[in-house]
């Protein structure tokens, strides 16, 4: 007998208390070992339309719903007594007549009966919104995975009502319909032969997973469904498995599965070529650690595949390769660079420029582009630096920068750009990797990109980038094309959001323009993205002082905990370390323990996570509070005060917006954004719905 688990089971399990979850897991293990054991109390759900639904007693109140046949036992749902029975009475598992996939289907008549019995709310009349799917035939809708009994309801769905509808349809049908809304193309679902096992269908395998032993069940119960599932949406799978004929970039707004595509691409390449060495990298140690955990869950016991995929941050990789080839690099600190520049800025020639301007010219032009000769600096295009300087001025500055390089050499120090420049030359034609997959590519630097371009040589499909220009928070923009990385015609945008509710996604999108273009003219459109589920609207509030804000955030957290959200499913983020105290105060006021995040991105059971917005990158929570969004906190007054170039000021505002967007989109279901009056100007954008026009 096959023992399976459904995504609906893991989702329902997370809504129970820790004590209840422990009892459920014990019962699940017993069921897997022997479902016919005398101690197992199974009862048929009498009012269920599906005759194979049974309940399993966990304790006096908790019931586990299973679908039991002679061939399999499927864990479907768990909840308190009445909730669990009600869930089973409204659903059935059946084979889709066209695709052949096993589906968990909500019974339409039961839903309509409940709607008819519900009291009519006194709501204002809204404007008429046209149905979305009238241009489709019934066969097309059914062919996308919609159960036939729901087709008439699909035809009535409008922009407002579609999210009510998606709560009742199988997930693959929801994805197909929302993809149609976003792109105008309805993609038919895959089909299997009439006699094939309905659970073998690719869509069914994404919803129902066979667990062969207790260890697999333990992993399934310990990790939320979206953390350990190994199946992709068909649109993502195409990008993962395609031969792109050159470097490819996969973009998309927060929550659209870019990191999942990167993980699967790395695994696909390793599986396809048993001799290949694959690099999976990103810009920070924090995110590389997160990738390692996800990769381990993805490949499981495939030791040969995992052993050929190296997961390292780009700087960690650079350090290791440099140490092997030349010895451990002595990385120059920012303070060392400043100390070398400071006296030179006071020299007779240097007094023409401020120390901040010289530091910006070094860190944005001279160092990243590895300019080592006067002729190179004389002719370089100073992208992003709008303050024009003439030939004589450049000559004076080059004398200063040459002395900085001499000072670094005297101390045996190098910059990260030096490390990658040296490795680019050293590894030419002798790369330790055949493929490189780069996640969060928007935050890679110039020298790192040149290094990656040389790492895979002339291999056409050697480079795969995933990222979002709207989440660039660390690096100045630059031309990939000038470094030999040409993604023109090979840039693809994911539009279905799997992580964030429609309400949170739509409101967070107000922080950014409808389209963002890179230096090479490639444009990433942010319009047309759709979320797979609905949720409560985000709350944006301002307060008279920090104490009042802390009390409000604490009350919000307490309400979530009372509603069954677990402490480790809640995150509280602030702009910088200077505001961490305010997050601590909010939790202290309600007696809830917090855990301050580090670069390992580890949450802790029973504790609410606290961290800066930069550390929010790569994390997901059911609920997020973004605190201390005050004027002069975000955008950072310290960064604004350091600006010496008009282009830098625009860059500060852009990356500060991106940072707030990143923090807000870590939330799945609940979002609270707060500040003290006068609040950040960005909060007005969040609440007004105004969207800045994109610039070419």
Instruction: For 339-375, write each residue's pLDDT tens digit.
Output: 999 898 888 676 778 888 888 889 989 999 999 999 9
Confidence at 418, pLDDT banded by 50, 70, 90:
very high
- Paired residues of 414 in beta bridges: 331
In a domain, residue 469? The reply is: yes
Query: Do 593 and 662 belong together in one domain?
Result: yes
Cα separation of 534 and 452, whole Å?
40
CA Rg, the chain, in Å? 28
Query: Do 538 and 478 belong together in one domain?
Result: no
Query: Do 64 and 138 belong together in one domain?
Result: yes
Supply the pLDDT for residue 228: 42
Is the omega angle on the peptide bond into residue 678 within 30 degrees of 0, that is, cis?
yes
Taken as a whole, the chain contains a residue count of 696
Query: Do 598 and 633 belong together in one domain?
Result: yes
- Paired residues of 610 in beta bridges: 572, 596
CB 174 within 8 A of CB 531: no
- Establish how many alpha carbons lie within 13 A of residue 134's alpha carbon, considering only the half-sphere containing its beta carbon: 7
Res. 408: pLDDT tops 90: yes
In a domain, residue 383? The reply is: yes
Element housing 75 (H / E): strand 72-80
- Would the CA dihedral through 534, 55, 207, 96 be positive or negative? negative
Supply the pLDDT for residue 225: 47
Res. 123: pLDDT tops 70: no
Supply the pLDDT for residue 687: 85
Residues above pLDDT 70, as percent of the chain:
91
CATH of the domain at 62: 3.30.2310.20
In a domain, residue 591? The reply is: yes
Res. 159: pLDDT tops 90: no
Res. 694: pLDDT tops 60: no
Query: What digits encode the pLDDT tens for the residues 314-343?
Result: 999 999 999 999 999 999 999 999 999 989
* Pairing mode of beta strands 515-517, 523-525: antiparallel
Supply the pLDDT for residue 624: 98
b/e map of 474-494 (b: 16 or more CB within 10 Å)?
bbbbbebeebebebeebbbbb
Cα separation of 533 and 164, whole Å?
9
Supply the pLDDT for residue 673: 98
Query: Do 397 and 444 belong together in one domain?
Result: no
Supply the pLDDT for residue 235: 67
Supply the pLDDT for residue 385: 58
Query: Do 30 and 111 belong together in one domain?
Result: yes
Confidence at 523, pLDDT banded by 50, 70, 90:
confident
Q: At what angle do helices 234-241 and 258-272 cross, to 10 degrees?
A: 50
Q: Please tell me what DSSP assigns to residue 510.
A: G
CB 435 within 8 A of CB 276: yes
- Phi/psi region, residue 349 (left: phi>0; alpha: psi -120 to 50; beta: rest), is alpha
In a domain, residue 229? The reply is: no
Of the candidates 442, 397, 384, 452, the residue with the CA atom closest to the CA atom of residue 421 = 452
Supply the pLDDT for residue 294: 85
How many other CB atoms sit within 10 Å of the CB of residue 128? 6
Supply the pLDDT for residue 113: 65
Q: Measure CA 664 to chain center.
A: 12
Helix (H, G, I), strand (E, B) or coil at 556: helix
Q: Assign 3-class secondary structure to 162-227.
A: HHHHHCCCCHHHHHHHHHHHHHCCCCCCCCCCCCCCHHHCHHHHHHEEECCCHHHHHHHHHCCHHH
The residues, ordered by sequence, that sit 6+ positions from 656 with a Cβ below 8 Å of its Cβ are 634, 635, 636, 639, 682
Q: Measure CA 120 to chain center.
A: 39
Q: Please tell me what DSSP assigns to residue 567.
A: G
Average pLDDT over residues 167-177: 89
Average pLDDT over residues 478-496: 90
Query: Do 255 and 378 belong together in one domain?
Result: no
In a domain, residue 217? The reply is: no
Q: Assign 3-class secondary structure to 295-317.
A: HHHHHCCCHHHHCCEEEEEHHHH
Dihedral of the CA atoms 316, 318, 320, 323 (nearest 10)?
-140
In a domain, residue 333? The reply is: no
How many other CB atoms sit within 10 Å of the CB of residue 187? 16
Cα separation of 365 and 368, whole Å?
6
The range of the structural domain enclosing residue 466 comes to 234-326+419-494
- Paired residues of 209 in beta bridges: 5
Query: Do 573 and 485 belong together in one domain?
Result: no
Cα separation of 287 and 619, whole Å?
9
How far, in Å, are 77, 454, 463 from residue 458 at the CA level? 51, 8, 10
Long-range Cβ contact pairs of 516-519 (< 8 A, separation 24 or more): 516/469, 516/470, 516/694, 517/469, 517/694, 517/695, 517/696, 518/469, 518/477, 518/480, 519/383, 519/477, 519/478, 519/479, 519/480
Strand order in the sheet with 570-574: 539-543, 667-676, 621-626, 570-574, 608-612, 594-596
Supply the pLDDT for residue 106: 93
In a domain, residue 78? The reply is: yes
Query: Do 670 and 610 belong together in one domain?
Result: yes
Query: What digits encode the pLDDT tens for the residues 259-288?
Result: 989 999 999 999 999 999 999 999 888 889
Res. 389: pLDDT tops 90: no
CB 177 within 8 A of CB 170: no
Domains of the chain: total = 4
Supply the pLDDT for residue 120: 46
Query: What digits encode the pLDDT tens for the residues 641-653?
Result: 877 666 678 888 9
Supply the pLDDT for residue 508: 94
Confidence at 166, pLDDT banded by 50, 70, 90:
confident
Supply the pLDDT for residue 224: 56
Query: Do 155 and 89 belong together in one domain?
Result: yes
* Pairing mode of beta strands 2-6, 208-210: antiparallel
Supply the pLDDT for residue 476: 82
Average pLDDT over residues 17-32: 88
How far, in Å, are 12, 108, 541, 620 from residue 6 at the CA level? 10, 21, 38, 21
* Pairing mode of beta strands 530-531, 72-80: unpaired
Res. 435: pLDDT tops 80: yes
In a domain, residue 80? The reply is: yes
Supply the pLDDT for residue 213: 74
Q: Of residues 632 and 238, which shows the higher confidence score? A: 632
3-state SS of the chain: helix, strand, coil percent to 5? 45, 15, 40
Supply the pLDDT for residue 238: 84
Rounded to 5 degrees, what angle do the CA atoms 526, 227, 225 make?
100
Query: Do 479 and 616 belong together in one domain?
Result: no
- Low-confidence winner among 17-31, 441-455, 663-677 (lowest mean pLDDT): 17-31
Res. 692: pLDDT tops 80: no
Element housing 77 (H / E): strand 72-80
Of the candidates 172, 119, 129, the residue with the CA atom closest to the CA atom of residue 147 = 172
The residues, ordered by sequence, that sit 6+ positions from 80 with a Cβ below 8 Å of its Cβ are 61, 62, 63
Confidence at 230, pLDDT banded by 50, 70, 90:
very low
The model carries a pTM of: 0.79
Query: What digits encode the pLDDT tens for the residues 592-615?
Result: 999 998 766 566 778 999 999 999
Confidence at 18, pLDDT banded by 50, 70, 90:
confident
Query: Do 549 and 623 belong together in one domain?
Result: yes
Average pLDDT of the chain?
A: 87
CATH of the domain at 623: 3.40.50.300
């Amino acid at each position: 007998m096959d023992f399976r688990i459904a995504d609906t089971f893991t989702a329902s399990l997370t809504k129970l208390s820790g004590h209840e979850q422990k009892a459920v897991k014990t019962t699940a293990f017993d069921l897997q070992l022997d479902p016919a054991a005398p101690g197992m109390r199974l009862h048929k759900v009498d009012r269920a339309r599906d005759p194979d639904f049974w309940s399993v007693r966990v304790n006096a109140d908790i019931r586990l719903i299973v679908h039991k046949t002679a061939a399999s036992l499927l864990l479907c749902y768990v909840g308190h007594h009445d909730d669990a029975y009600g869930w089973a009475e409204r659903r059935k598992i059946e084979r889709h007549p066209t695709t052949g996939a096993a589906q968990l289907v909500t019974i339409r008549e039961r839903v309509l009966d409940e709607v008819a019995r519900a009291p009519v709310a006194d709501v204002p009349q809204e404007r008429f919104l046209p149905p979305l799917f009238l241009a489709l035939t019934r066969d097309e809708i059914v062919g996308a995975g919609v159960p036939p009994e729901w087709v008439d309801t699909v035809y009535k769905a409008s922009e407002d009502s579609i999210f009510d509808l998606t709560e009742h349809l199988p997930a693959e049908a929801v994805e197909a319909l929302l993809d149609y809304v976003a792109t105008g193309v309805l993609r038919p679902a895959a089909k299997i032969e009439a006699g094939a096992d309905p659970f073998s269908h690719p869509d069914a395998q994404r919803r129902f997973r066979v667990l062969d032993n207790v260890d697999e069940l333990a992993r399934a119960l310990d990790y939320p469904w979206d953390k350990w599932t190994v199946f992709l949406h068909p649109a993502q799978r195409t990008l993962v498995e395609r031969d792109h004929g050159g470097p490819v970039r996969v973009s998309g707004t927060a929550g659209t599965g870019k990191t999942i595509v990167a993980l699967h691409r790395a695994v696909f390449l390793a599986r396809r070529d048993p001799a290949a060495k694959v690099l999976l990298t990103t810009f920070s140690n924090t995110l590389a650690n997160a990738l390692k955990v996800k990769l381990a869950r993805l490949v499981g016991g495939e030791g040969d595949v995992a052993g050929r995929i190296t997961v390292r941050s780009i700087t960690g990789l650079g350090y290791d390769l440099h140490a092997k080839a030349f010895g451990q690099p002595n990385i120059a600190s920012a303070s060392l660079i400043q100390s070398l520049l400071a006296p030179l800025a006071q020299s007779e020639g240097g007094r023409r420029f401020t120390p901040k301007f010289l530091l910006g010219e070094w860190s944005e032009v001279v160092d990243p582009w590895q300019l080592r000769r006067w002729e190179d600096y004389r002719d370089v295009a100073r992208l992003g630096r709008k303050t024009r300087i003439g030939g004589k001025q450049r000559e004076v500055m080059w004398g200063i920068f040459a002395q900085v390089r001499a000072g670094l050499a005297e101390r045996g120090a190098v910059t990260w750009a030096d490390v990658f420049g040296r490795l680019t030359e050293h590894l030419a034609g002798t790369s330790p990797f055949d493929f490189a997959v780069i996640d969060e590519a928007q935050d890679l630097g110039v020298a790192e990109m040149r290094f990656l371009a040389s790492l895979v040589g002339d291999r056409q499909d050697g480079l795969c980038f995933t990222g979002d220009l709207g989440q660039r928070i660390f690096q100045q923009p630059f031309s990939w094309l000038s470094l030999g990385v040409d993604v023109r015609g090979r840039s693809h945008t994911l539009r279905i959001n799997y992580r964030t509710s429609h309400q949170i996604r739509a409101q967070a999108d107000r922080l950014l323009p409808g389209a963002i273009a890179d230096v090479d003219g490639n444009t990433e459109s942010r319009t047309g993205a759709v979320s797979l589920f609905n949720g409560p609207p985000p709350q944006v509030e301002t307060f008279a002082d920090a104490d009042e804000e802390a009390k409000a955030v604490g009350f919000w957290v307490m309400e979530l905990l009372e509603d069954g959200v677990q402490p480790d499913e809640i995150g509280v983020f602030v702009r910088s370390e200077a505001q961490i105290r305010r997050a601590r105060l909010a939790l202290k006021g309600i007696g809830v323990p917090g855990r301050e995040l580090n670069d390992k991105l580890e949450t802790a059971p029973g504790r609410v996570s606290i961290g800066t917005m930069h550390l929010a990158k790569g994390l997901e929570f059911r609920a997020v509070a973004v605190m201390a969004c005050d004027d002069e906190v975000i955008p950072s007054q310290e960064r604004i005060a350091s600006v010496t170039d008009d282009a830098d000021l625009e860059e500060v505002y852009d990356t500060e917006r991106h940072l707030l967007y990143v923090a807000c989109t870590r939330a799945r279901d609940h979002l609270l954004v707060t500040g003290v009056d006068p609040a950040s100007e960005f909060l007005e954008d969040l609440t007004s719905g105004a969207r800045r026009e994109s610039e070419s």
